[in-house]
Structure 1
Amino acid sequence: MREVLARGDLPAFVALIRAAMGLSQLELASLVGWSQSTVNRIEHGERGTLYDVRELVRFADAIDMPRHALLPLIMGKPVAIDDFAGTNNDMDLDRRRFTAVLAGGFVAGMGWGSETVPRKVGTAHIKHLNATVERLSDEDQRSGGALLVSPAMHLLGRVRRMLDEAVYSEAIGRRLLSVTGRLSVNSGWFAYDSGNQELARHLYGEARIFADHAGDQELHVEVCSLLAMQSVRFGRKNPGRAREALRFVATAEDAARHWATPRMYALLALREASAHAVLGDAMSCRKAMATAWREFDRGPREDDPTWIGFVSEAELLSFEGQAAMMLGRPAAAVDCYGRSVAAWTSDRNRTYGRACLAGALLASGQRSEALAEGLNLLTNVSGSRRTLEELAPLRDVAGDSSEFAELYDHKLAA
């Protein structure tokens, strides 16, 4: 997209946008308020509508595209935000802070997408919103939740207004409720990853309401799974909160009992195992982990929910490491985390796994190895406060003048 914008090839730009969203010409026309023939003529270079800057900005707003993404058209080269990092010597900003400042400025000032809502919502709007939710999830793997909270919350506010103000059929309304719930889940995860647990809890609660109103059992199970995960995290400081996690797991199992796939049962068993580990119940933890491995070994299914794709061998090994740590077995955790790190295919998940491994090394008495591991991975930590929290014990034992402490404090303040 940056390349075609740099060439000023707006017909190709429209065609790429439409293909990325999976929309027909008629659906894109419905989304932006054109006729199908207008879209067709623009894509074939027979009409120069978007060469009017007002129409170009209106088009970007209609598809919730951040206006700064049009920058290559102005610069005449396929420039990305990354290319600006470090160009101003008066700004002591690393890439993450620069991106956050730039994105935040457009959200608060020029706007991240349109402030208006369509008068009538149809299939094209639902497809566009689903594509946007998927793009946010993909970007999370690259940049981390901290950078995505603002645009996600902005879009969520707009979609809520669509629910309240727009006209739509009953069937479209149910789909709109579901996509709003999924956007709430995404926003909650971004808040969770950025360390804002209160906001995450609120958004997950809203997602449950949307799931109930839409009759979306799959979404309901996903939310309960995330709430169980968050309760386990709270349980690290207040073990009693782990009982809440078990209740969320039971609620999810009840909602999924008629359609759950093996991978779904594996995930819920992992959540249960973590809760038992926090409560110090080693026997129940081992039983739940055995269930998770047994269900996982049954393999994936065609009807697996798309969001459950993260349940992998690396994920199960990571949960085993987490359980071992909470049960006071750091040496076993080192082994599990080590195998998990080797199995991850996602760089971001591997970085988080390495942070957990560093903590396990420290707990097992291998201080030097832990600090070396932590220092090596710190440069890869961007928008995930959750990863930094895993490294907090290393900061506590590192001297204030150490290289690790200096880099960690810089990342924490960014």
Structure 2
Amino acid sequence: MTPLPAPSLRPNDAFRRLRGPLSPAEFAASVRRAAREIGEQVSCDARYIGRVESGAIRCPNYAYERVFRHMFPGRSLTDLGFASRESVRGHGARHGAGTVPAPAPGAGASIDVFEESELLRRAFMTSGAAAAAVAATPLVPAAPTPLVPPPRRSGRRVGEAEAAAVEEAVRRIRVLDDRHGADTLYSHTATPLSAAYALLDAGGYSRSVAERLYAGAGELAISVGWLAHDSGRLSDARSHYAEALATARVSGDPALEAHAFCNTAFLARDAGRPREAVRAAQAAQRVAERLSSPRLLSLLALREAGGWAWLGDRGGCEAALLRAQTLFGRGPSDGDPEWMSFYGEAELEGLEAQCWSALGDWGRAADHARRAVALQDPHFTRNIALFTTELAADLAHDGAPDEAAAAAGRALRLMDQVTSSRIRRMLDDTARRLRPHGAVPPVADFLDHYETATRPQRV
């Protein structure tokens, strides 16, 4: 059967004008800030903004509508370039595929991370992706080689709704990780990741859907890999990143390939393989030269700098840092990948702090870590905890135990909201380093709170 042509899209020029000189990632960040101002929760990123501007989203869901009306008072949906809600109601509008309705204003503040993770799983499963995933799952668990049934056995065609579900799963994971860290999320991601690759295996989709599925599945593998990385499952992370890299190579997607190499470099550094980190970062930069994103090249130069720092090569590290700073100074562009919404001045400072720390220049590292904490967007709770913990470690090494204890105490309080084995291990190391200074009042106070927080709870 010849696939039906996709309906033509009418670009939303009015919304594009409202974005002005901001990049899609920067504008998405402003949308998230506006949502927090009115108690909404939206997982807005550069891809969502791109879909709005291309006309793929004819009308936003109610949560986004409230946020946009807050940002642009007095303007109706049609003033913002959208179709009226009445004109799309009942027509299966794309904006609803695979999304989670946001809570009413003020209702989201106390939602638990486990509940949010379950919302992620349900949102993906109810989109139609689950049907395809089940159809592609072998019925005999003991079969050594799983066989994928013919794709039409499920009775439905893989299309826009399934591609949107994969993309929404990626967005949701990233937002939850920004807020909470990886430990409580990782176990909830196996089902959507398996479903995404089952959709690819099912076939029977158009070229445009195929491109979205490959990109979405690859990005989902990277997101799941990062959750494994941050929760201390380094071998799992390596496997997921390799899966994403293979997907990028098969589909000829340089943006996905650069992202996979970027995370592979980061993982290699954390796993004690700094030379591999340098090679992966350099490979990522070669691929990224084909893209129009100085900010991406800046981040990749920082990944290379981290590898050189752990090798003890100060010259190589400084050269890569200078390149990263120069590229960052060229500003954002429309070519910046959506996943880079976290990469701003705070991240630049934080990654440079890690380099100086690896080189043993503790004072310089502390200066950069302090700036990273001050500059971080409040949305990125996990990164605030990370940079604060880095600051505490640098101060402890630099012979300032009282300041280190104060920073460590702030990080410890943030760990009530963040579950990251990597950050927890860093904080444990700082506590051990501070114990010989237990006679210093701020240190004694921190150690007391630390011991209470980490003491196993009696049942």
Aligned partner of 1:306 in structure 2 is 338
- Please state if 1:159 is matched with 2:196: yes
Distance 1:228 1:308 in 2: 16
Q: Which amino acid aligns with 1:258?
A: R
TM-score, reference length from structure 2: 0.65
1:270-307 Cα shifts (integer Å, max 9, x gaps):
11111111011111111111111111111111222222
Q: Structure 2 counterpart of 1:214, which letter? A: S
Using a 3 Å threshold, how does the CA distance of structure 1 residues 234 and 141 change in structure 2: closer, same or farther?
A: same
1:391 aligns with 2:427: yes
TM superposition shift of 1:140:
1.8
Q: Which amino acid aligns with 1:120?
A: R
On the 8 A contact 1:395/1:405 being kept in 2, the answer is: no
In 2, the alpha carbon distance for the partners of 1:373 and 1:213 equals 46
Match of 1:178 among 177, 192, 215: 215
TM-score normalized by the length of structure 1: 0.72
Distance 1:22 1:155, change over 3 A: farther
Please give the alpha-carbon distance, in whole angstroms, between the structure 2 residues aligned to 1:171 and 1:409: 53
Read off the aligned partner of 1:116 and give its amino acid letter. Answer: A
**For residue 7 of structure 1, what is the aligned residue in structure 2?**
none
Matches within 5 A, 1:314-353: 314-346=346-378, 347-348=380-381, 349-353=383-387
Change (3 A) 1:319 1:285: same
User: What does residue 411 of structure 2 align with?
Assistant: 377
On the 8 A contact 2:291/2:335 being kept in 1, the answer is: no
Give the superposition deviation at 1:397: 3.8
CA deviations 1:143-170 (Å, max 9, x no partner) are: 2222322332211111122122352134
Larger helix fraction of residues: 1
Q: State the match for 1:407 in structure 2.
A: 453
User: Aligned-pair distance for 1:265?
Assistant: 1.7
Rate the CA distance shift 1:296–1:410 in 2: closer, same or farther, 3 A. Answer: farther
Q: CA deviation at 1:405?
A: 2.4
Determine the C-alpha separation between the residues in 2 that align with 1:280 and 1:105: 44
Percent identity between matched residues is 28
Q: Aligned-pair distance for 1:106?
A: 8.8
Q: Structure 2: which amino acid aligns with 1:364?
A: D
Distance 2:255 2:229 in 1: 21
Instruction: Evaluate the alpha carbon distance shift between residue 166 and residue 120 of structure 1 in structure 2; reply closer, same or farther with a 3 A threshold.
Output: farther
For structure 2, the 5+ residue unaligned runs are 1-51, 60-84, 91-95, 133-153, 436-443
- 3-state SS in 1 of match to 2:125: coil
> Which whole-Å deviations, capped at 9, do the CAs of 1:112-138 have from their partners, x for residues lacking one?
725422631122332332233222212
Name the SS of the counterpart of 2:183 in structure 1.
helix
Give structure 1 regions of 4+ aligned residues with deviation exceeding 4 angstroms.
21-25, 39-44, 62-66, 77-81, 102-108, 398-401
Match in the other structure for 1:113 = 125
Aligned length: 338
Q: Is this contact kept in 2: 1:23–1:124, CA < 8 A?
A: no
How far has the Cα of 1:363 moved from its partner?
0.8
1:296 corresponds in structure 2 to 328
Counterpart for residue 243 of structure 1: 275
Q: CA deviation at 1:105?
A: 8.1
Amino acid across the alignment from 1:138: V
SS in structure 1 of the partner of residue 158 of structure 2? coil
Query: How much has 1:40 moved relative to structure 2?
Result: 7.2
Q: Is 2:218–2:248's contact at 8 Å kept on the other side of the alignment?
A: yes
| Matching of residues 89-238 of structure 1 within 5 Å | 99-100=113-114, 113-114=125-126, 115-117=130-132, 119-235=156-272
Deviations 1:298-357 (A, max 9, x none): 111122222223332222211221111111111111111111211111342222110100
Change (3 A) 1:267 1:41: closer
Q: For residue 402 of structure 1, what is the amino acid of its counterpart?
A: D
- How far off is 1:41 after superposition? 10
- Give me the CA root mean square deviation: 3.5
Are residues 41 and 172 of structure 1, via their aligned partners in 2, closer, same or farther at CA, if it must alter by over 3 Å?
closer
CA distance in 1, matches of 2:359, 2:201: 48
Amino acid across the alignment from 1:390: M
User: What is the CA-CA distance between 1:409 and the residue it aligns to?
Assistant: 4.7
Distance 1:127 1:23, change over 3 A: farther
Aligned equivalent of 2:319, options 268, 277, 287 = 287
> 1:35 maps to what in 2?
none
Does structure 1 retain, via aligned residues, the 8 Å contact 2:388–2:407? yes
Q: CA deviation at 1:65?
A: 6.8
Task: Give the match for residue 147 of structure 2.
Answer: none
Could you tell me which residue of structure 2 aligns to residue 363 of structure 1? 397
For residues 86-111 of structure 1, the C-alpha deviation after alignment (integer angstroms, 9 at most, x for no partner) is: xxxxxxxxx6xxx43x6788999x99
AA at the equivalent of 2:308: H
Give 1:406 shift. 2.4
